[in-house]
Chain A
Amino acid sequence: MSTPRFALPQGRSRALGALGAAALVGVAATVWLGLFVTPPDQFMGNLVRLLYIHPPMAWVAFLAYGIASLASLLYLWPRTRAEHFDRLAGASAEVGVVFTGLTLVSGSIWGRPTWGAWWVWDPLLTTTALLFVLYLGYLALRRVPGEFHVRARRSAIGALIAFVDVPIVYFSVEWWRSLHQAPTVLNPTTHKTYVHGSMAWTLLLGFVSFTLVYIWLMAHRYRLGKLEDLEDTEGLGAALAERRAEGEAA
């Protein structure tokens, strides 16, 4: 009787299911409050409703890249080096790229009626686009064939290099003359928040809800990565067994 030597990632996790449900409820509430409950803005009118999803997208992208960098650092540190940190970095960065893409697209949709253009070469927009390309490059780097620890090490270094752009994106509105408005929440210059009442609560709910969405997506991407690694290992094991059988037959 064969006993599997593989520890498959758990198929169903109650915690992950509860997290997914909470994220779904949170996003639904954000959409309902953002579209139907909060008032239009004095200057932007109904376009302000896009800001309940656009800043949370950017925040989650930063968070995802932060986690990817931390995991990469832990992989590079000899005492904490473990495969799961490499896998976590890859999973978090991939989700981060999705959120960065959505940041750019939702910002562009907001910019067209506000600035009169889908895209302007503003410092914040340009550095965000660069961030998107840098992490796409990181994901491509992860796919370059090679021995596992060599590939993981160069990926980790790539993730840390790409992360340098994150503070540049955040402070670009201060460092250069920008068309983009400065952060509405916890402005780095004034340390004030320029949104209040139901608008503030809806924005806060957006931040929390999309953070939960990030965790849920990242957990699933991590599990998928683990299964893909198992498949690779299984393929390697099968090939070794085949070669061994060939050797015995000869």
Chain B
Amino acid sequence: MNGYVEAGYVVVLGTLGTYGVTLVVRERAARRRVGQAVSSGPVAGGSDPPEAGVPAAGSARAGGGEETGPGSLP
């Protein structure tokens, strides 16, 4: 084989693999943080109902098919 060929494959596959793993790890960490905040935070567990005309925090950004654009952001 050729050293350049091997180097090319190692660089490409190594970079993509590292990037993919980094994304998955960051996603899991973010989900954990958000999950904790949702279960214990004042917004999720608070007793105050959302103000009239103001969507619940996160409803516009959280999505689930309900994203309505910047006009509805808190």
Q: Which residues of A contact B (CB under 8 A)?
A: 2-9, 11, 27, 31, 34-35, 45-47, 49-50, 53-54, 57, 81-84, 98, 101-102, 105-106, 109-110, 112-113, 147-149, 152, 213, 216-217, 220-221, 223-224, 226-234, 236-238, 240-242, 244-245
Contact = CB atoms under 8 A, between A and B. Distances in A.
Interface residues of B, number: 50
Contacts, number: 173
Given A109-B8, A113-B4, A82 B68 contact: yes
Given A2-B39, A238-B43, A148 B73 contact: yes
B70 A5 contact: no
A149 B74 CA distance: 12
Interface of B: 1-2, 4-5, 7-9, 11-13, 15-16, 19-20, 23-24, 26-27, 30-31, 33-35, 37-39, 41-46, 48, 56-64, 66-71, 73-74
| Most B-side CB within 10 Å, residue of A109, A110, A148, A245 | A109
Contact of B23 (A46, A220, A230): A220
Nearest to B64: A7
| Most B-side CB within 10 Å, residue of A27, A229, A237, A240 | A237
Contacts of A4: 38-39, 44
